[in-house]
Structure 1
Amino acid sequence: MSTIGLLFSGATLFLNSLVLLKKADAKAIAVFNLFVGLLQVIVPFYLLTTTPNNDPWAIFNTSAIFLFGFTYLYVGLTTLMNLNGNGLGWYSIWVSIMAVMYGLVYFIHFHDILNGVIWLMWAYLWYLFFASLVLNKKIDHHVGCVAFIQSWITLTIPAFLTLLGIWQNQYLIKAWYIILAISIGYFIVNEIKLKKIAK
């Protein structure tokens, strides 16, 4: 995915997390979802038309942008038009499954463990949207916390470090494994607490 796309995905996810945590107005944030959603639908269409020799892996990487773009458009329109979130929830589980497959490709084909883990973290977040909107789980605060953390550690900061040209630094990558592991641990602990409360 393009670095600029990652950066603005981070901004959008950060704002959406604030809505879930009841710190921001949903309709005000929905407008930004539409801005970024349009950006991440128009840009990949352009990239696909200019891909040299129809390179399959370039197309594969570009296709990932659509997953985010259509999610943000769906969130924005669902909020502004007061639609039932059920459709967005079912779309989210489809994207969650796709994100798992993207992660596996990064593990197996690209031998890229870091980005593979990040894709699986995104898959988990999309699953949470499904659980909230379709299964009617009362987990908005948990989803907000996960979205808030992921907005920074999987999108905003990696994109910014990529713009600086230092994201591939080996020491930085090792540090990021630790950051991701701590975050995943936090998510697991929260999930366990939620299941105990549900009982």
Structure 2
Amino acid sequence: MSNVGLLYVGAVLLVNGLMLLGHVPARSAAVLNLFVGALQCVTPVVLIIQAGGNADAILGASGLFLFGFTYLYVGIVNLAGLEPEGIGWFSLFVAGAAVVYAGLSFGHLADPVFGVIWLAWAVLWTLFFLVLGLGRERLTRFTGWAVVLLSQPTCTVPAFLGMTGGYRSTGGLALLAALVFAALFGLAAVLGRHHQNAPAPNSIVPA
């Protein structure tokens, strides 16, 4: 995945998590979603054109569209005041695709750390499906906290490591990442329960 695009995915996930928690208005968050969504659609097109038919390069670029389409969808829905169920069901597709990309990272690409990151994203997008597609509003605050807490270690941190040549992927680091992500999901569950009586946000469009 493009490290530049991944950096801004971390930014938009943070803002959208805060939106779910009621701290950022939906229409305000929509603008950043459109910017990052457009970036995550243009970037893979350029990468695929430059790949020269290299299958692994095309595979690496293809996952960017999952994020690009999600953020464009969220931005348009929030600006237009549309129903969010379509985003929820699209998120189910993204979650399934993320599991496939995780398997490819563990096996074909020999990148176990990113395999764990893809699995974390699969969990996040599954939560989006439950909240938006199935209307499980009781999970909204847990989802918001999970997005806030996971946005930086799954996006911003590996992006900066990749751009500075510091990214490493070993089985030991993958296990450490899995433990950290599991702890953050657990913390999100605790924080979500602690604030479950707080007023609901005006919009629950998350990703």
Instruction: Give me the TM-score of the superposition, normalised by structure 1.
Output: 0.88
Per-residue CA deviations over 1:6-43 (Å, capped at 9, x if unaligned) read 00100010110110111111111110100110111112
Q: CA shift at 1:186, angstroms?
A: 4.2
Superposition pairs for residues 1-199 of structure 1, below 5 Å? 1-52=1-52, 54-137=53-136, 138-168=138-168, 174=172, 177-188=175-186, 190=189
1:130-175 Cα offsets, whole Å, 9 max, x none, are: 00012111211111111111211000111112222212287xx856
Unaligned runs of 5+ in 1: none
Shift of 1:183: 2.8
Q: 1:95·1:126 contact (CA, 8 Å) conserved in 2? A: yes
How far did 1:112 drift? Answer: 2.0
**Quick one: which amino acid aligns to residue 146 of structure 1?**
A
When residues 43 and 83 of structure 1 are mapped into structure 2, their CA distance, relative to the original with a 3 A threshold, is: same
> Residue 153 of structure 1 contacts residue 180 of structure 1 at CA under 8 Å; is this kept in 2?
no
Give the 3-state SS of the residue equivalent to 1:118 in structure 2. helix
3-state SS, counterpart of residue 83 of structure 1: coil
Tell me if the contact between 2:131 and 2:140 (Cα under 8 Å) persists in the aligned partners. yes
Following superposition, the deviation at residue 121 of structure 1 comes to 0.5
Whether the 8 Å contact between 2:77 and 2:83 is mirrored in structure 1 is yes
Question: Percent of counterpart pairs with the same letter?
Answer: 39
Q: 2:88–2:132: 8 Å Cα contact kept in structure 1? A: yes
Q: Aligned-residue CA RMSD in angstroms?
A: 2.2
Does the CA-based 8 Å contact 2:85-2:134 persist in structure 1? no
What is the aligned residue count? 191
